[in-house]
Structure 1
Amino acid sequence: MLKTLGKVFTGLAAGAMLMAGAVAPAAAQVEPQAINFRTPFDCGQVWNANTRTNHNPQNAVDFQRSGAQGKNVRSSAPGKVTTVRDLGNTSYGKYIVVTHSGGWQTLYAHLSAFNTSVGRSVSTGTIIGKVGNSGGSSGPHLHYEQKLNGSVRRVVLNGLAIKYFGNTTVTSSTGC
Structure 2
Amino acid sequence: MATVSVKRSVTALATSAAALLALATPALASDVSAQAINLRTPFDCGQVWNANTRTNHNPQLSVDFQRSDANNKNVRSSAAGKVVTRRDLGNTSYGRYLVIDHGGGWQTLYAHLNSFNVSLGQSVSTGTIIGKVGSTGGSTGPHLHYEQKLNGAVQRVVLNGKAVVYYGNTSITSSTGC
1:113 correspondence with 2:115 = yes
Whole-Å separation in 1 of the counterparts to 2:68 and 2:102: 30
Corresponding residue number in structure 1 for 2:104: 102
Q: Which has the larger radius of gyration?
A: 2
Corresponding residue number in structure 2 for 1:6: none
RMSD (Å) for aligned C-alpha atoms: 0.9
1:145 counterpart (135, 142, 147): 147
**Cα deviation, residue 29, structure 1:** 3.6
2:125 counterpart (98, 119, 123): 123
Corresponding residue number in structure 2 for 1:61: 63
2:43 counterpart (32, 41, 44): 41
1:88 counterpart (87, 90, 105): 90
Residue type of the alignment partner of 1:90? T
Residue type of the alignment partner of 1:80? K
Runs of 5+ unmatched residues, structure 1: 1-26
Whole-Å separation in 1 of the counterparts to 2:132 and 2:91: 17
Where 1:129 maps in the other structure, the secondary structure is strand
**Cα deviation, residue 101, structure 1:** 1.4
Residue type of the alignment partner of 1:151? A
Q: Percent identity?
A: 75
Residue type of the alignment partner of 1:130? K
Corresponding residue number in structure 1 for 2:173: 171
Whole-Å separation in 1 of the counterparts to 2:69 and 2:60: 25
Residue type of the alignment partner of 2:132? K
Residue type of the alignment partner of 2:140? S
Tell me the alpha carbon deviations over residues 12-69 of structure 1, each in whole angstroms, 9 at most, x when there is no partner. xxxxxxxxxxxxxxx7644222210000000000000000000000000000001000
Runs of 5+ unmatched residues, structure 2: 1-24
Whole-Å separation in 2 of the counterparts to 1:164 and 1:141: 18
Corresponding residue number in structure 2 for 1:133: 135
Corresponding residue number in structure 2 for 1:79: 81
Whole-Å separation in 1 of the counterparts to 2:123 and 2:26: 33
Where 2:120 maps in the other structure, the secondary structure is coil
Where 1:100 maps in the other structure, the secondary structure is strand
- The two structures have a TM-score, normalised by structure 1, of 0.83
- The two structures have a TM-score, normalised by structure 2, of 0.83
Greater helix fraction, Structure 1 or Structure 2: 2
